[in-house]
Amino acid sequence: MPYLRQFLILVLFLASFGECRNKHTTRERRWTGAVETQKHGTSLAKKPPDVTKSRRLKTEQLLKVDDHDFTMRPAFGGPAIPVGVDVQVESLDSISEVDMDFTMTLYLRHYWKDERLSFTSTTNKSMTFDGRLVKKIWVPDVFFVHSKRSFIHDTTTENIMLRVFPDGHVLYSLRVTVTAACNMDFSRFPLDTQTCTLELESYAYTDEDLMLYWKSGDESLSIDDKISLSQFLIQKFHTTSRLAFYSSTGWYNRLYINFTLRRHIFFFLLQTYFPATLMVMLSWVSFWIDRRAVPARVSLGITTVLTMSTIITGVNASMPRVSYIKAVDIYLWVSFVFVFLSVLEYAAVNYLTTVQERRERKLRDRAVREQSLPCTCGMSHTRTMMLDGTYSEADTNSLAGYTEAPMVLEDVVPEKHEHMVVHMSMSSESTTTKKKGIRALRIMQNTHAIDKYSRMIFPGAYIIFNLIYWSVYC
């Protein structure tokens, strides 16, 4: 009995072990896809192995990144490492006069040699990587001098490319947008030409450790032919280089991207110069309006003055608050002076008209009073009248049309010496002389003559000003 019991236990153990082994074998075949299937009239076949699951050599191990200290520059302790630079301008996004800056998008490429990245290759082909490898090796620390904002594009991934050649030469390229300061001179605005500069320099390495240079001279800078700006015409792109000195750190190589922009004038002709000229010409219309139409001439003058003020304010609102006079300021303020003088011209006309009417009214009143006195005009015998001593000789001579007669005193009463008797008569010669004097006075104070002269003086002076202005600034 003991032997029989042991025999049964051994049989059960072997049976359970065989069942577990069959299940494990079936799972392995399902996982590897090697379960044998038999088709009609065909033999069993195995699926080829997946080559992607084979163990490959890592790129870092191929470039031997872990075998070197890339915190140090290549050839540390030796001469300065040359780093060539070239730039391709993708777009010139904006030019801001208020902030005095510009925004540019460009491809910045660096070229240098790092023997630590050399590798063996039978085909002598380069290897290209993205920005993840850049964080593990040494790259030049180039930055933009006088930049306000800059960033590397990261859609959909960081726009960084690293290309390594078997002999250790490296190409490092990135797409960056930078906003940099541009010192502008607006003394000739809007007939100005601006020159802006984008400066590149190493931040940490002096010229003893790193030598920046343009890889192909002026050909290192290329621009897209489709680049255009709304207000400027791009005249020239060129490159320069020089050394920059800092008192605390030393000398650095600095590269310059210079470009010259000439402003389009047509926009300002439509928005500034033509409206200002039309307002000045509109102010001249008042010279042809009757001087007695006070509301018409005053409202026209005030309207043109306010319109010129609005134009000046609108132009200055889009400009920085510079402390010197711009070309557009000269034109607008001279135009404003012409408009203002047209208003003062009517003020002078109106004043002289009022003075003349007051004087003529006095003369009429005096003539009426003198005609009311008795006279001996047309009588055969001489009649006299008594004149008070308050009448002047001019008042007496102002009465014309009487016959000439000698002055006779009659019935002189001794106790009344304050009265005298005269004949009311004037000669034809004295009358003609008086009329000529009055006519000359009226010509000097004729308001129509002032308007007539203004019709010629104002346009002539404004035309001369325009000729001088455009000949100087164009």
Amino acid in position 232: F
d(CA 359, CA 441): 11
pTM given for the model: 0.66
Helix spans in 38-178 (H): 59-63, 131-134
| Full set of structural domains in the chain with CATH | 81-263 (2.70.170.10), 268-361 (1.20.58.390)
CB 339 within 8 A of CB 305: yes
Contacts of range 204-207, beta carbons closer than 8 Å, 24 or more positions apart: 204/141, 205/73, 205/80, 205/140, 205/141, 205/252, 206/249, 206/250, 206/251, 206/252, 207/80, 207/243, 207/250, 207/251, 207/252, 207/253
Q: Which two tokens stand for residue 432?
A: 């003609």
d(CA 13, CA 132): 57
pLDDT per position in the chain (474 positions), as tens?
Answer: 556 666 677 766 676 666 656 655 555 444 444 434 444 444 444 555 544 444 445 555 667 777 777 888 898 888 999 999 999 999 999 999 989 999 999 999 999 999 999 888 878 788 999 988 898 999 999 999 999 999 999 988 999 999 999 999 999 999 999 999 999 999 999 999 999 999 999 999 999 999 999 999 889 999 988 888 888 999 999 999 999 999 999 999 999 999 999 999 999 999 999 999 999 999 999 999 988 888 999 999 999 999 999 999 999 888 888 899 999 999 999 999 999 999 999 999 888 888 888 888 888 888 888 887 555 454 444 444 444 444 444 444 444 444 444 444 444 444 434 344 334 334 444 555 555 555 544 544 445 688 999 999 999 999 999 999 999 998
Contacts of range 392-396, beta carbons closer than 8 Å, 24 or more positions apart: 395/366, 395/370, 396/422, 396/424
The HSE-up count of residue 143 (CA atoms within 13 Å, CB side) is 11
Q: Which two tokens stand for residue 260?
A: 């010259």
CB 289 within 8 A of CB 343: no
CB 82 within 8 A of CB 216: no
- In this structure, are strands 160-164 and 169-181 parallel, antiparallel, or unpaired? antiparallel
- In this structure, are strands 101-113 and 210-214 parallel, antiparallel, or unpaired? unpaired
d(CA 186, CA 192): 7
